[in-house]
Structures are given as structure tokens and as C-alpha cells.
Amino acid sequence: MAAAQVSEERTFERAKDTLRSVLGVALEESAKGHYKLGEGGYAMAPLRFTAPEHAAIALALGAWRGSEVEWAARAALTKLAPLSDDLAPAPAPPGRPDAAAGLNTALYAPAAGAGELIAAIAERRRVEFDYVTGASGRLARRQVEPWRLAKRGGAWYLLGFDLDRQAERVYKLGRMIGPVTLTGRAAAFDPPAAAWANARLKAALDGQAAGPGRVRATPTAARVLALQGARATPEAGVWELPNADPFELAAWGDQLDVIGPERLGDQVRERWRGAAAAHAGTPAAPQPYPSAPRRRARPAGQSRAAGEQTARQPKQTGAARAARLVSLVSYLRDRGTVRLVELAERFGVTPAEVHRDLYLLWMDVGRSRAGGDLLDFAWSEDESEVALVDSQGLDHPVPLSAVEAISLVAALRSVEEAGGLSESTAAGSARAKLESALGAASVVDFNLPAGGPQLETLRQAISRDRRLVFDYVDRAGAPSRRRVDPLEVFNAGDHWLLAAWDLGAEAERHFRVDRITDARLAEAAESHPYRPRRRGWSQRAELVVDAVFAPSERWRAEELETLAPPLALPGGALQVRLGVVNPDWITAMALGGGGAIEVLGPAELRGRIEHAARSALR
């Protein structure tokens, strides 16, 4: 047997095993070498999505890109591809482009263990993990019945029942050290009702969240606070804040003073005292960073945490292709002749990959054993088009796994609740269809930033390659008029950021979308080199900063783009090396951290932070 034929047969045997073990598709081989579906087959509840709903699904699942659940999002999108109408979306309103253009919803959250936790919640299995407490910094082993996952700001949280303490607890994923392990049998516990769990998680997180506050602010700070929803009072310079976060207020330094409540003022001043003490005197020398791993493609679903790989990953990768094999057949049913280019666009792969997939299903695999086609296709002469002739019953939509369904419902709910996005309405209707057909539980909760009035204008500029002109108020409160060539709008956790080439600065800059006003399109934009940022603020910069983040602030470090692999320190702290464009940014972060974020160097920056903290206290 030729080597190519042997390789092809082995590939098909692996695909058959994956279809059987992962998707529940039982393929049986007759004595003559023909394949057919086993009794019982497989199926998914009837579903049909409009073109706008499919676009909303694609946008929503993009939020999982860069996370541990990316593999599930990709598989869900593949399995739902045959269930969407081929009709083009309705024409965009005047002045508005294709809705998905220019918008990157990716969370890029490290959240090591998120995939395992979602699987454990779906299967009702207990988990074990090592956890660093925020107050003491001690490391302890936890055994938990997981109930619900939620993302607030830049952090992920788990609500569950601590088996050792016999009480419900909320855990921050950023404080979980090492792998999350699923233990015991499935259906080992009965979780509380969804409404009860939602209320308990909300109460716990709201207890950590910011409450209202009153501050006296300088005009510089007031301009930014106003854009963030602060309301001016009759008293000059005094503002009411709906959500007064001690970290954010302390970051302003001497540009504001807390009037009330008294506890909030005490918390802010305590942070300034901590920052001053942490940056006085000579710091410890930075520990050497680990060597950067050799660059290579990261398999979908592999953990971002150093040295971690999920044992299930090869199976998930095989399942992705197996899902596409069956979904291709399901898509071709009742559609007549279809171009390979169309199939490639629908399934997010290349025409060559589609061609290989179809040939794998179509060609005789064991000619020496009398062979036999699993399926029958009709190809055009140049093989650029294909039609399904006989499906052998392999044309049912592939069912979503529990993790895929949970991830999809959570992502659609986030787009729906963001508001201001053109996909929000379609996301709501798609979610309702899924929950009705699959009964997918709402056990994962994250929120995309609210879409402001400028967001669609920025998306329009990117999709049409147009220059933008807008008014902007920066972090220091300084107003300016900007002319930029937009590059990307992306999700930065609490808000959207615009990456653009600033014509005035002749450099790449980032702008918070909620600080942009009066945006309008101008002439055609020019092209510029662009390296997309994964986690936002750290950029190519003149200032190299080493900093240590205590366990309570570790999650902030994990959201930054670093110049070297982060170094885990004893007790759960994290040392990072950052490239900083503006010293004011890292100064504000250190002030907000209140000693839990210590800059080790350079010395001039330490002195700047200490001076800013003592000035604020005065």
C-alpha cells in the first residue's frame, strides 16, 4: 500500500474514533468495507438562526479568544455554521458599516483553570486547587463544589461551596496557583437554584465593589470624572460618584480629596500611606526572570499559565475537526452546488482545508479490503465546487457539548447586555433560541463594556479605511483635538480602547472610547504597521520598570503585556517587567495599589511615587 494511502487511512481511522468517542456518532464498517451510521445515530434539537443572529454569535464567541475556553468557542461556531441562513444581512443603515468590522471583543483573560471550572460546573464535579488568600497571602488547598463563574472588571470569580469550611465562598481565579483538578464522580452534588446563586454572587461581589462617594476634584480630574459618570454638585469643585473605587481614587493622588463617606476617605489615605512606605528606602533587587519559551503556535485551548497543558487537549483538537467534518455535510444538505470558497468562509478555514476534509469523507479508504465510500459527492471539473449526493445519514447538526453551550450562552448574554452594539438585539434572540432548545444553564457571567455613542462611528472608520477627527480628554484631564488613522477597537475589560496612529504625535497611541467626543470621519486613512495589544496598557516604551504585585493585586499584573515572562514569587506575589510610555500611568497604579504594588526600579520612579503619595497625604 502506498505511503500516502496509509497516511490517509490512519487519518480517517482517527477521525472515526473521534466521531464515535467525542461526538457520539457511531460509524460501523460492514464486511465489505462500507461505512454506515450505527443504530441510534445522533441529533441536536431543531435550531435555525438568521444571518444577523449568526453574525452576533460570531462576535460574541470572539470574546473567548485568548482564553482557556477558546477551543469550546471555536467548536460551537463550527457546529452552528450549518444552522444559519445563507441570506446576506440586511443592508446597513446610512453611515454605518458591517456591524462586526473593526471590533475586537476578546477578553484576553488569563483565568487559568476557567476551562476546567466550566466543565466541572457542567458535570457537577468537585474541584481542588491551591489558593492564596488576599488578606494573609497564605497558600492553602481548597476542595470546592463549583456553582458559578463571573467576571467583574479585570478579575474572574468562582462561587462555590467550600467542603472543608462547610460554607459558601467566592474565590478570585487570579489567586489560584497551579492547575485546577476535577475530582470524584459526575453529578456529585446538586447546585443551588440559578436565581439564588446569582443573588449570592452579586451580593458577595457588590460587597467588594465600589459604593457612592463625594470628592473635591481639581478641574483636571473633574473633566475625566465627568466622562465616567460623576455628577457635579452645587458646591464648587465637589462631585458625586456613583461608584467610588478606592483604588481609582487613590490613583489620582493630590488631584482630589474624599469628602465622604468617612470610611472611603480612610481607605484612600491608607493606600497613600502604604504607597509612601513601600517606596521609601532601597528596594530589594529584582529576581531574575525565567527564560522566554521558544515561539511556537499554541494549540487551541492550551493554558496560558507557564508549563500547564490540559490533558484533554488532543481530544479537543480532534473534536474540532470531527465537528467540522460532520458540519460540512450538514451544511451541504439542501444547498445544491456550493463553492469551496464559500465553505471556507463559512467555517473559518482555508479552501485547501475544506478540500482535504471533503476528500477524507469521500475517497475510498481501504481499497485492498474492497473499500467503499462513506459519502457520495459530485465535484466540478476543477474541483472548486461540490454538491452532496448521498449523506449516508450523516447530515444531522452536531450537538453542542455542555461546555460549548454554556460558553455560547454567556457570550451572547454579554453582547446583549452591553447595549449600544448593533448586534445586541440579534444576540438576545439567538440566546433565547439556544436556551429554549438546549436548556443551557446560565452559570458563567461576564460583561463586555457598554457601547458608547462613539463606538459605531469608530467601527465605521476602520471598516471604510477613513481617518478620524475627535475631541479627547486624557488620563490627566487635558483636552485636545486629535486626527488619527484608526487601527482597531478592542475590549480592555472595563472599557473599549481605540488603537490608532496619531498624526500629531507621529506614533501609535491608545484612546479610551468613553473619553472620545464629537468623532467624525475625514479623508482616506493611510496604512501603518500595527502589533495588536493583548492586554492593553503596556506598550513599546523608553522606560523599563520592574514591579512586584502582591497576591491581592496579582490579577492586575496578569492583564498587562510584559517584556519578560512574569515571575511567581513565594506566597503568591508576581514580579513583572513592563515597558512604560508615560510615568504618570505606573505612578497612578502604585498609588492605587497602596503598597500592594511596589515598583523596584528605576530609582527615580520610586522617588516620584513616594513624593506623589506624601503630597496627597498633605
Residue 495 pLDDT level (bands cut at 50, 70, 90) = confident
The pLDDT value given to residue 483: 95
Q: Compute the average pLDDT of residues 507-534.
A: 83
End-to-end CA distance of the chain: 85
Q: Which residues of 253-278 are buried (b: 16+ CB within 10 A; e: fewer)?
A: bbbbbbbeeeebbebbbebbbbbbeb
Write the DSSP string, 346-370.
HHTS-HHHHHHHHHHHHS-S-GGGT
Q: What is the pTM of this model?
A: 0.65
Asked if 75 and 347 touch (Cβ cutoff 8 Å), the reply is no
Catalogue the E-assigned strands of 412-460. 444-445
Are 482 and 470 in contact by the 8 Å Cβ rule? The answer is yes
Q: Are strands 597-601 and 238-244 parallel, antiparallel or unpaired?
A: unpaired
CA distance 150 to 159: 8
Phi, psi of 87 (to 5 degrees): -65, 140
**Lowest-pLDDT range, 207-216, 220-229, 324-333?**
207-216
Give yes or no for residue 298 having a pLDDT over 50: no
The pLDDT of residue 605? 94
Cα dihedral sign for 80, 85, 86, 91? negative
Would the pLDDT of 67 be above 50? yes
Question: What is the sign of the dihedral through the CA atoms of 341, 347, 353 and 356?
Answer: negative
CB atoms inside a 10 Å sphere around CB 484: 27
Confidence of residue 591 (pLDDT cuts 50, 70, 90): very high
Q: What is the pLDDT of residue 33?
A: 52
pLDDT, residue 65, reads 78
Instruction: Report pLDDT digits (tens) over 71-119.
Output: 778 778 888 877 777 654 443 333 333 335 578 887 765 567 788 888 8
pLDDT value at position 299?
A: 38
Q: Indicate the pLDDT class of residue 586, thresholds 50, 70 and 90.
A: very high
419 has a pLDDT exceeding 80: no
pLDDT digits (tens, 9 = 90+) for 221-273: 888 888 777 888 888 889 998 878 888 899 999 999 999 889 899 999 999 99
Do 155 and 493 contact (CB within 8 A), yes or no? no
Nearest to 549 by CA among 68, 134, 182: 134
Q: CA-to-CA distance for 254 and 250, rounded, in angstroms?
A: 9
Length of the chain: 618
User: In the prediction, which pLDDT does 29 show?
Assistant: 57
Give how far Cα 15 sits from Cα of 9, 33, 101, 284, 324, Å: 10, 16, 35, 55, 11
What mean pLDDT is predicted for residues 187-201?
A: 81
In three-state secondary structure terms, 23 is coil
Among residues 136, 210, 133, 140, the alpha carbon closest in space to that of 174 is found at 133
105: number of CA atoms within 13 Å, CB side?
27
Contact at 8 Å (CB) between 159 and 139? no
